[in-house]
Amino acid sequence: MSGIKRRKTRIIKIGNVRIGGNYPVAIQSMAKTKTSCVEETIKQIRELESAGCEIVRVAVKDKDDAKAISRIKSNINIPLVGDIHFDWRMALEAIDSGVDKIRLNPGNIYKRAQVKEVIRAAKLAGIPIRVGLNSGSLQGHKVSAQASPKGTRSQGHKSAADKMVKSAVDYIKVLEGYGFYNIVVSLKASNIFDTIEAYRKMTKFCDYPMHLGVTATGLEFPGLVKSSIAIGSLLLEGIGDTIRISLTDKPQNEVKVAKCLLTSLGLRTFGPEIISCPTCGRCEVALVKIVRDLERQLSAISYQLSSRPIKLAVMGCVVNGPGEAKQADLGIAFGKKEGLFFKKGKAIKKVPADKCVGVLIEEIGKFVT
Ligand code: SF4
């Protein structure tokens, strides 16, 4: 498992999920449906649950959205978070409807009297508030969308990261001033430099759990890369208690990327990890198809294996194949039309290429019992 030393943070309870302390880094996503379209929203959240999402957020834009929360909540199994912007009264409505946490944006809900009312209601309901900063909606600040890596800033110009941190610290002071400490923080920018800088700086000011994310990352590939660099760098430093990968894509893919990221860092296990080579001219089997078949068949039993860090190697030829296969729990190094099957570092038998997925699944099945 990972050698990452996680930052000590307060434990915050969101419905039946706890984040912070030594709790696993939780995966969250956001429904992309109109919240008041209840059936559609429930369907999407259930799909997210099946994909492995542990906390889900919905937009609360109006009263209909807020009212829908109670029905949605009674039809799903993971905590439900209400995302509130501009209208503080929607926070009250969402809390009234039974939401498990609310996200407030300090950039557009900042009047003291309004914040005070929301805090009072959240306190009564016993739910946390995420202070959710976003570089695109900082109150009174015009933040450049350009990246601002160290050394490129003119003197005296405050970085987007500094502005987000200041805004978060000021907002948290207001919440704490009213005796409210049930807080989660996020500081999302649309570029990786500001995002990383903001989270790092924020650790100096509080021990509240951090919700990590990069905002508006784009389609699946750029989104995946930006999120992995920023969120991955922070997690490597021990920062981060829950993550949301934002993609202009299906929300299930956000969860898929989050799982890969946490697995790669050794922070979570979600069933077997597949190590496979990219293939090249030396490969004489349909390796991509084999690995896809294996992944598809594994998804049916992964939940039974979720707490076991099992490594599977599926390699295209003898160049790196036997080496990788030996280091995995189970592995196959292919030659021409057949593969040499390895178990716990030992070569066991030769398997025809078209039978290898079946053999791997059968062997993995032995880990379940
Ligand atoms: Fe190519 Fe073999 Fe390396 Fe796979 S293991 S990339 S087939 S050389």
pLDDT in tens, 72-122: 999 999 999 999 999 999 999 999 999 999 999 999 998 999 999 999 999
- Fold match, 12-264 / 273-368: no
Burial 332-363 (b: 16+ CB within 10 A, else e): bbbeeebbbbbbeeeeeeebebeebbebbeee
- Pick from 275, 276, 315, 340 the residue to mutate for probing ligand 1's pocket: most ligand atoms within 8 Å of its CB: 315
Instruction: Please tell me whether residue 80 adopts helix, strand or coil conformation.
Output: strand
> Is a pLDDT exceeding 90 seen at residue 270?
no
Predicted pLDDT of residue 308: 72
| Cα–Cα dist 315/260, whole Å | 19
Tell me which residue has tokens 């800033």.
Answer: 153
CATH topology of domain 273-368: Sulfite Reductase Hemoprotein; domain 1 (3.30.413)
Is the beta carbon of 281 within 6 A of some atom in ligand 1?
no
Mean pLDDT value of segment 197-224: 93
Q: For residue 282, which atom of ligand 1 is closest to its CA?
A: 7
Q: For residue 321, which atom of ligand 1 is closest to its CA?
A: 5
Mean pLDDT value of segment 57-81: 98
Residues 301-358: tens digit of each pLDDT: 766 666 677 899 999 998 888 898 899 999 999 999 899 999 989 999 999 999 999 9
Predicted pLDDT of residue 102: 98
Least-confidence region, from 27-41, 290-304, 351-365: 290-304
Give the domain ranges of the chain: 12-264, 273-368
User: Mean of the per-residue pLDDT values for the chain?
Assistant: 91
| Cα–Cα dist 40/43, whole Å | 5
Q: Which of 193, 357, 194, 166 is nearest to 272 (CA)?
A: 357
Q: Beta strands 346-352 and 338-343: pairing type?
A: antiparallel
| Cα–Cα dist 94/85, whole Å | 12
> Is a pLDDT exceeding 80 seen at residue 1?
no
Query: What letter does residue 159 receive in the DSSP assignment?
Result: P
Q: For residue 317, which atom of ligand 1 is closest to its CA?
A: 2
Mean pLDDT value of segment 238-267: 95
Task: Identify the band that residue 172 occupies on the pLDDT scale cut at 50, 70 and 90.
Answer: very high
Range 12-264 classified under CATH 3.20.20.20: yes
| Cα–Cα dist 358/350, whole Å | 13
Residues 134-158: tens digit of each pLDDT: 988 887 543 333 444 444 444 456 7
Q: Which of 22, 65, 29 is nearest to 257 (CA)?
A: 29
Is the beta carbon of 333 within 6 A of some atom in ligand 1?
no
> Is a pLDDT exceeding 80 seen at residue 125?
yes
Q: Does residue 186 contact residue 130 with C-beta atoms inside 8 Å?
A: yes
Which two tokens mark 158? 């405050």
Percent of the chain surpassing pLDDT 90: 78
Whole-structure pTM value: 0.89
